[in-house]
Chains A and B, each alone.
Chain A
Amino acid sequence: MGFALFILLLLVAIGLLILTQAWPAMQEFGLSFLWTSSWNPVEGRESFGVLPIIYGTLVSAAIALLIAVPLGLGTALFLSENFIPLKIRTVLVFMVELLAAIPSVVYGLWGIFVLIPALRWFFDLFGIFFTGPSMLAASLVLSIMILPIITAISRDSLAALPPELRQGSYGLGATRWGTIFRVLVPAAISGIVGGVMLALGRAMGETMAVTMLIGNANTISLSLLDPSNTIASLLANQFAEARGIQVAALMYAAFVLVILTLIVNILADWIVRKLQAKY
């Protein structure tokens, strides 16, 4: 009880700290901070806006989800059903969970030294110029990073289903795939959605690997091959050298990120509740 209260206090304290530090920038730029695109820290001509960065944060997270959800759910199904012998499954489950243990910076390095050269070679085949650091590179690495979250949580919720459900469905003459898609996945959907939302939160807040791969350009470009930026990597890049109102602007951006993740979490909770009520 005491510890829970302590965590609550800690959360409030962090929120308050961000809010007080961001206050000067909030007064200076108001809500237009959210939809302007300039980011100019030069003294005397400061103007800050995070629209491209919010865009980058949301788009990179969305692409990562788009790749990781089908892959992660597929892996979870493969690992929770008896497609392969239990011994091999146990090893694979362990390896997927190991993916989550790789430090972010290692993912970043892998992106720089393996993924980007590979992508460059691939796009060269079609005569397309690929700079390297870009939305695509960052999103791909992000998708690998969130894959274990989706897989592990989906697998756990599938494995937690009572065996009677499976038997009931087979007993009615359902095929394996019929059982999976019409009984098992719907029954585990609240856990699966919860996992996806957790992964989305992680993708939006991921810093190191994204900073190393996204190119840190505060522009909106529809091409995924162009560099972009996310709130987390903006903070990581600029905080060390920021002074005065720029610190406040960065804190304001941090506050926006906190709000965004909060919205995602509330949304997740709402969806999970809604789905649970339905079944």
Chain B
Amino acid sequence: MVDTMPMTGTATDVVLRAKDCDMYYGSLKAVRDVSIDIPKNKITAFIGPSGCGKSTVLRCFNRLNDLIESFRLKGQMTYHGQDLYASDVDPVEVRRRIGILFQKPNPFPKSIYDNIAYGPRISGFKGDMDELVETSLRRAVLWDEVKDKLPESGFSLSGGQQQRLCIARTIAVQPEVLLMDEPCSALDPISTLKIEELMKELVQNYTIIIVTHNMEQATRVADYTGFYNAQVVEGAGGKVGYLAEFGETQKIFNDPTLEETKDYVTGRFG
């Protein structure tokens, strides 16, 4: 059973690694003791009840939490062995390699074309932009729907299309990792299925981490699943999240080690 754990693979298979990470908002401890290895070219899902820190952990991987003034991270996060939070690491560079997709589709108030071209332009891409836009849109399986209206506003698309536009936009920067923060929770079931199919295609070239509230979604797409739970802190009145269990999706859903995991995946709480 042990060999299902990704950390037993060769070192190159691990793209992102968190080691003993505690996360704080101001003096409030939000997440504790997270240690996890994210395997390359796999989809890893984070599941768990609300407020257990799944998104916080996700956003730590590309240093997006830096934008929150009161946020602090204790512990180590590495990307291919390189400390992400080392003083000589440029967070801008980190975010180029580790892209992120949000819960609500957030196209820029620009044309469809410029939405895609924005990332490559700011990172100094000097190649055939038309081609890059087309490949990115094709990879996001959106090309056929928008090829005739590239100059139109990104807002003219439906919610599901907007989310795929955001995926295309992220891909255009050619990251290695895609972080997805509940990418389908604002979408209808058909758009959700399209995104899931897309994820399965993308995972051949990318490493994907997805936070989801939808357990069926985790079983449908994820190779590995991490179950986060929250625990009431004595006295402080708040909750602190932690990574309860991590392993192959199959095992987490069918034969979890912990009782709490079992309760959650069978729908007994959360």
| A interface residue numbers (CB < 8 A to B) | 82, 85-86, 162, 164-175, 178, 182-183, 186-187, 278-279
Chain B residue nearest to A161 (CB atoms) is: B109
Distance of A85 Cα from B107 Cα, bound (Å): 29
A172–B170 contact, CB under 8 A? yes
| B interface residue numbers (CB < 8 A to A) | 62, 64, 67, 69, 92-97, 99-100, 102, 104, 106-110, 118-119, 122-123, 153, 155, 166, 169-170, 173
Distance of A164 Cα from B110 Cα, bound (Å): 15
B69–A82 contact, CB under 8 A? yes
What are 26 inter-chain pairs, A to B, with CB distance below 8 A? A86-B69, A162-B106, A164-B102, A164-B104, A165-B106, A165-B108, A166-B67, A167-B64, A167-B100, A167-B106, A168-B106, A168-B166, A169-B118, A170-B95, A171-B100, A172-B99, A172-B118, A172-B169, A173-B93, A173-B96, A173-B123, A175-B92, A187-B109, A278-B153, A279-B110, A279-B153
Which 5 A-B pairs give the minimum distances between C-beta atoms?
A173-B96, A164-B106, A279-B109, A172-B119, A171-B100
A183–B123 contact, CB under 8 A? no
Which B residues are CB-close (under 8 A) to A174? 92, 118-119, 122
Contacts A168-B166, A182-B118 hold; do A173 and B106 have CB atoms under 8 A apart?
Answer: no
Chain B residue nearest to A186 (CB atoms) is: B109
B95–A182 contact, CB under 8 A? no
> Secondary structure at chain A's binding surface: helix, strand, loop or mixed?
helix
Chain B residue nearest to A162 (CB atoms) is: B106
Which A residues are CB-close (under 8 A) to B173? 172-173
Chain B residue nearest to A176 (CB atoms) is: B92
A172–B102 contact, CB under 8 A? no
Chain A residue nearest to B170 (CB atoms) is: A172
Which A residues are CB-close (under 8 A) to B123? 173
Which A residues are CB-close (under 8 A) to B107? 168
Q: Which of A164, A166, A171, A278 is B170 in contact with, Cβ under 8 Å?
A: A171
A170–B67 contact, CB under 8 A? yes
Chain A residue nearest to B166 (CB atoms) is: A168
Sample of 14 more A-B contacts, CB < 8 Å, known A172-B122, A182-B122:
A82-B69, A85-B69, A164-B102, A165-B108, A165-B109, A167-B64, A167-B67, A168-B106, A171-B62, A173-B95, A173-B123, A175-B122, A182-B118, A187-B108
Chain A residue nearest to B95 (CB atoms) is: A173
Name the distance in Å between A179's Cβ and chain B's nearest Cβ.
9
Chain A residue nearest to B108 (CB atoms) is: A183
Q: Which of B93, B99, B104 is A171 in contact with, Cβ under 8 Å?
A: B99
